[in-house]
Structure 1
Amino acid sequence: MTFTLKFKDIDEKRDIPKENYTIKDLLNDLELSSQTIVPKQNGDLVIEESEIRDDDEIQLVQIIYGG
């Protein structure tokens, strides 16, 4: 089972490493903070607890802070 990850210059298929693999697990694996990332699953905004399923497209959008 695989999903597509899109983040910055990354656009690749990845294996789903375990059952009940969530957006939060993915962020942890990539060492990214949920406070600076907005996750989208198949085009829809989702929460960290959303489970990644076979053939999903996961897009991670970096939040830019400024002042």
Structure 2
Amino acid sequence: MTFTLIFKDISEERDIPKESYTIKDLLNDLELSSQTIVPKQNGELVIEESEIHDDDEIRLIQIIYGG
């Protein structure tokens, strides 16, 4: 089972490593903070607890902020 990850210049097929693999698990694997990333699953905004399923497209959008 695989999903497509789109993040910055990356667009790749990735294996789903375990049952109940979530957006939060993916962010942890990529060492990204949920405070600086907006996740979209199949074009819809989702929360970290959303499970990733076979053939999903996961797009991670980096939030830019500062002061």
TM-score range, shorter chain: over 0.9
> Residues of 1 paired with 2:19 and 2:66: CA distance?
38
Q: CA deviation at 1:66?
A: 2.6
> Residues of 2 paired with 1:30 and 1:17: CA distance?
13
Q: Deviations over 1:36-63 (max 9, x none)?
A: 0000000000000000000000000000
> Residues of 2 paired with 1:10 and 1:52: CA distance?
18
TM-score by length of 2: 0.98
Q: Which runs of 4+ in 1 moved over 6 A?
A: none
Aligned to 1:29: 29
- Aligned residue pairs total 67
Gaps (5+ residues) in structure 2?
none
Q: Could you say what secondary structure the match of 1:33 adopts?
A: coil
TM-score by length of 1: 0.98
Q: Identity of aligned pairs, percent?
A: 88
Q: CA deviation at 1:22?
A: 0.1
Gaps (5+ residues) in structure 1?
none
Aligned to 1:16: 16
Q: CA deviation at 1:5?
A: 0.0
